[in-house]
Chain A
Amino acid sequence: MVNRKLVKFLSFRYIILATILIVLAGSLVLLPKYEQQEGISPEELLSLAISPERYITTDELADRIINQDPSLLLIDVRDESDFKKYSLPNAFNIPLKNILNADSESYLNQDAFDVILFSNDNFHSDQAWLLCNRLNYKNLRVLKGGISNWFNTIINPKKPTENMASNAFELYTFRKAASIYFGVAYPQKIIKKPVIKKYVTKTPTAPTEVQKKVIPKKKKKKMPIEGGC
């Protein structure tokens, strides 16, 4: 037996299907729009934000500057007045409030350089890092401790006390040599000539105080020969 109602209903099937399509497409237009999340997902951002991987230490940075690493791009996120007073060599100034400007994007959004963000502490540079990282910019690092830590470690390193481990002394000599590279003049270096003349006959240990202006280089470990044909 034929269900007449169903037959009558099905004779309109194309009209019904067409209306369903139009209603669906039309409600897409009418749907309330919300701001679509730009850049990476919140979960990913959070996991990157709690990871300390973004930090670069002042020693590592000094080493890379001294070795004239061409892939380094230093960006100072402090105000222009602070930047004019003191900054790292060859740094660009992009104040934190300008970080999302169209002009600064070409510096930050690229993959040719390692961008190193720094400020007085790592507080503002962390904020800059977060803003840029959310937009999925690559190769962003933050200078741990910022300029103040740079001052305390590289420019004015603390002399280790006698009971400290030997690597503390190695670090100290590295930092001191680096500070000379960055233009710090030590008093014993300036008056070294008279000092040597006086003590040369009495104590032969005196020349240890002489600071040679050497470019510190980290010793490269010899790689063991692997495999071969």
Chain B
Amino acid sequence: MNTTQELPKIKHADNTQELLTIKDLHTGFRVKDTYYNAVDGVSISLKKNEILAIVGESGCGKSTLATSIIGLHDTNNTRITGEIEFRSLNLAKLTDEKLNNIRGNDIGMIFQDPLSALNPLMRIGDQIEESLIYHTKMSKKERTNRVLELLNQVGIPNPNRVVRQFPHQLSGGMRQRVIIAIAISCKPSIIIADEPTTALDVTIQAQILDLLKDLQAETESGIILITHDLGVVAEVADRVAVMYAGQIIEEATVEELFSNPVHPYTRSLLNSIPQTHSDNEKLEVIQGLVPSLVNLPRNGCRFASRIPWIPAEAHEADPQLHEIAPGHFVRCTCWNHFHFEGEEGGSLT
């Protein structure tokens, strides 16, 4: 097959625009003295003013990728190799103390579950103020004003009262706004949002997404949006990377990806979105499960086991990312021969 095909040139020639460049990142977790890579050779970059979405099923390594960037893993049981280039620093090599200058200051993080992401014993105001204490030289009074300003900015009504309240006194949507306020408190150039809307109900989801978009436009920061919800991607993202089993299997602009998805996994994902106006009453699903970290086959196309009707010859022996259109990358060659089960297949040529 195409094993000898050349690696595509590393994308994004315009380096001045790049906020964050990840090169060949591996994040491994220790299970009984062996490290298993949950993120397995990811290269991607984030530009200024851009919302980059990373999508995939649960367990595909997208959250691990996000937390690897600011080193939030248990250092005793995690091994991170590769480059995370940010302001000519390699974040993967920094000590915890050095990273503390970047966390919350240059890179803000928003987490999935707002119900548990705030300290239950601490007042809202104090929790937002904390990062200001460590990253700015503001006086107590300036900090208090900044906290109120932030609460206003994220659309919390009655900030003067909320600063004195505890997390359990706020609704899920309000708490997520507080977490966003924490993330943007020091005006970071990058915001990593790890499934920011998953735990919220649909109407609140839309509000939070709008808020994120507005903040991004205001602050000109870059956002990495981790999600499994393709609806969210279509709504806010500029560029999308689809992850499967620790690897990026397709990357393209959001328009390109939705109009011309090529990788079997991406196509299956899009195919499994329920269509209310279609006559098809069957919910399309992808066969099987994401292989577990320990049992993951490390060579060959990792998606092969879930499309067993595609002949083995269709896959590359060592699947690489191929640029099939400007800025549109896809891993492995199986996409050429892919068809949904039961449909007429293309022939192997």
Q: Decide whether A and B assemble into one complex.
A: no
B residues sitting closer than 8 Å to A (CB atoms) are: none
A residues sitting closer than 8 Å to B (CB atoms) are: none
